[in-house]
A = this chain, B = another copy of it.
Amino acid sequence: MTNTASNGIKTVGLAPKMDSGFYGQDIISVRQFSRENLTYIFGVADEMRAVVKRVGSTDLLKGHVLACVFYEPSTRTSSSFVAAMSRLGGSVIPINEVTYSSVTKGESLPDTIRTLESYADVLVLRHPEVGASTVAAEYARKPVINAGDGVGEHPTQALLDLYTIQSELGQIDGLHVAMVGDLRYGRTVHSLARLLTQYDVQMTFVSPEILRMPLDVMNEVKASGRSVHETYDVHEVIGDVDVLYVTRVQRERFADQAQYDSVKDYYVITAELMQTAKERMIVMHPLPRVGEISYLIDDDPRAAYFRQMENGMYIRMALLAAVLGKA
C-alpha cells in the first residue's frame, strides 16, 4: 500500500505514521508507531492470546489470503506468520523458494510483488536487502508487512519484544532494560531501543568494544532524554535490571577468529549469574541462541524467551487482522 497522488505517481519515502486503525497500512518500520499505536496493537494481541488459549483459533480472516514471500529462509518468522494467519482462519501462499524461481530469471522485486498481490490480500516480505520492504510497499496496493530486510528493520520482532516486556512485567514505564551481546549488528536491539525511547525507561548497553551500539541509535536514545549507560560487563548490571535482552555474538561478524574466541564467552548467561539477578525480572532472546544462554536456566520462571516466541504469533495475528481492517 502506498500513497499515490491523484496524478497516479507514487510518492517514495519513509513509511507514514500508522493511522489509529491500521487498516490498509504497511508495516515497514518501528518509526511508524506512536505510543498510542503500540497500546492499541498490544491490546489486540492480548485479545488474540485469549482467543487462542480458549478455542485455538477464530474465523476473523476466513477467506483472506496471505502471501508469505521469503527471499531468505527464516523458519521462525515464517512459521509464526503461517500460524498467525491459520489461527485467524485465513490461508497462506508460502513462497519460500523465491531465489530458486522467477527471481533467478532476473525479475524485479516490484514485478514479483505486483504479481503476488494480485493473488493475495496482504503480503509479508523477508528480503536480504535494506529498503526492500519500502520498495515493495511503494508498488503494492495491498498492505505489506516487513519481516526483515537485511541489516535494516524487522519491526514485528521489535513489537513482539516490547509486547513481551509489557505482558511479563505488566508495564514498560519505570523499568531498567539491559541489552547484552552484539549491539552493533543486532537489528533487533536497534529497533527495540528505538521503541523504548517512547517509554520512561532506563537502558544499559552491555557489549564488547567492537560491538557497541551504533552512534545513530545512541544519539536517538540520548535525544529522547532516557537514561542510558554502557558497560562491558554484565555482572555490573545484573542485580538491577528488570529486563535482560541477550543477543548472539555471531562468529561471522569477526574477521579475526581469535578475536571472536576472546569475547564469545564474556556474555554468557549462566545459572550462577541468574542467582544475582532480581527475583522479578525476565531474560529475553530473539533466538536462535548458540550457547549465550545456558540451557540450565530454561526452567527458571524468569526465562521468558520461549514465551517471547509465542507472543510473536499473537502480535502477528494482531497486525494481520489490523491491516485487513478486522481487528
Q: Which residues of A contact B (CB under 8 A)?
A: 8-9, 55-58, 62-65, 67, 73-76, 79-80, 82-83, 86-87, 89, 91-98, 100-103, 105-108, 110-112, 114-116, 118-121, 287-290, 295, 299, 306-307, 309-310, 313
Chain B residues with CB under 8 Å of A56's CB are: 63-65, 121
Task: Return the chain B residue nearest A248 by Cβ.
Answer: B105
User: Judging by beta carbons under 8 Å apart, are B105 and A93 in contact?
Assistant: no
User: Judging by beta carbons under 8 Å apart, are A73 and B100 in contact?
Assistant: yes
Asked, given contacts A65-B86, A93-B86, A98-B75, whether A310 binds B118 with beta carbons under 8 Å apart, the answer is: yes
User: Judging by beta carbons under 8 Å apart, are A112 and B310 in contact?
Assistant: no
Asked, given contacts A8-B299, A83-B93, A95-B75, whether A115 binds B67 with beta carbons under 8 Å apart, the answer is: no
Q: Nearest Cβ in chain B — how far from A89, in angstroms?
A: 8
Q: Nearest Cβ in chain B — how far from A15, in angstroms?
A: 21
Q: Nearest Cβ in chain B — how far from A88, in angstroms?
A: 10
Query: A118 contacts which of B73, B75, B313 (Cβ < 8 Å)?
Result: B313
| SS class, residues of chain A in contact with chain B | mixed
User: Judging by beta carbons under 8 Å apart, are B290 and A106 in contact?
Assistant: yes
- The answer for the CA separation of A250 and B172 in the assembled complex, in Å, is 56
Chain B residues with CB under 8 Å of A93's CB are: 79, 82-83, 86
Q: A73, A79, A97 — which one has the most chain B CB atoms within 10 A of its CB?
A: A79
A56-B65, A79-B115, A111-B288 given; 7 more Cβ-contact pairs under 8 Å:
A56-B64, A57-B65, A73-B100, A79-B93, A80-B119, A86-B91, A107-B290
User: Judging by beta carbons under 8 Å apart, are B75 and A287 in contact?
Assistant: no
Task: Return the chain B residue nearest A90 by Cβ.
Answer: B86
- The answer for the CA separation of A188 and B87 in the assembled complex, in Å, is 35
Query: A75 contacts which of B87, B91, B112 (Cβ < 8 Å)?
Result: B112
Chain B residues with CB under 8 Å of A94's CB are: 82, 94
